[in-house]
Chain A
Amino acid sequence: MRATDLPGGVVRRDDMGVSHAVDGSAAVAPAQRSRSERALVQSAQRGDPGAVEELYRRHWRQAYRAAYLVTRDAHAAEDIAQEAFLQAIRVLDRFDRARPFAPWLHRIVTNRALDWARAHALRRPAEAAHEAVAPEARSDLSDDLAEAIGRLAPDARAVIVLRYLLEHTPGEIAEMLDLPRGTVNSRLRRALDELAGEVGT
């Protein structure tokens, strides 16, 4: 991979010729960035693979990171994020262009990641939800922040990720997770309190 300076930030190009911003997101050319999401969905519905690729590049990173932070498992995160995009392809023709694409995708990703994390916790009764990260998963953790989030219960991880990574409001989160809004707010407060000592926020 080599790094290249382009308008809009430093990017690097991987072995497949795909450009990525240094923060891990796919780099987006200015002309493409200006295309509205609604126009992209419309083009994709008309069969334009370029529009699908652009939607993918815009949303992959956040979907993957969200799934990873909830599951703490890179393989599961990849499966979950991929499956969410494949689901988007399956229902593309029926997708309402007036609706934003990202919340719909985030709902699927987060709920699937949450289901995976809950099922994983049950399959391994010795590993309680608040217990330390399992040894095989620990190698995937890139810093203390992910490790601290990993020590939260799966439900708390999901609301933290939806609020502070994917930037949804508590009302939107309540809708996405089928929870009362007050429950979302209390989980956010508790999770932040738990994380305060860990990550110094």
Chain B
Amino acid sequence: MPFVAATRALGAAGLFALSVLRASRPTRDFFSELTREIYKIGARSLPIVAAGGAFVGLSVTLLGYRALETYGATGQVSALLGLGLYRELGPVLTALLFVGRAGSSIAAELGLMRATDQITALGLMAIDPVAKTVAPRFWAAVLCVPLLTAFFVSLAITAGYFEAVHVIGIDGGTFWQTMKDSVDFHDDFLVAFIKAAIFGATSALVAAYVGYHAEPTIEGTSIATTRAVVNASLLVLMFNFVLSALLFRS
């Protein structure tokens, strides 16, 4: 029976995703809501993404330096930093920060809208609640997570540069040249943003699905918020492995 229930839930989530795509029409109201959501879930996530990126850059640089020092290859620390950030850490950690910051708020907002009759009221006014409440949040996430990933990686590389060059003493020219030689624009840079967009879509869909279908109570909203963070985080990690296996050949 758990298999049947899981299959049914997966089917319902798939239909929900289709309904979001079907409800995404480029109307004036849609763009107005989209702009508002980009500010709410994208711009407001910048501080934690910046702080997270800087600390990850510092940690990876230090870890890489200590590991590579054994082999006398400390000049390669920027290659490790660049590849690690673009291929794995940047998209994944940005998506996880996004899930914690914005995914939880999407689930909580939709759960509260359900509990306070706002979603019912939209339906009764002949306004598609998915088009009004879910579609703008979904597309805002698809657009924002790649941009936040770029911001995260930029901050991480900048922090790594200052640590490697000004604290550890690696030559600045070597740092940039090694990174440039090892990070490929198409294979690493662009793929990072494709992954980020997929993670954004996944996070927003999971959060919106559990929030939209939450029990119309305070407890229901609370459960939906927790479920959004847990399920979206696990899916991001799972999809990351699948995408890495498919997209990175070398």
A in complex with B: no
Q: Which residues of B line the A interface, CB within 8 A? A: none
Chain A residues near B (Cβ < 8 Å): none
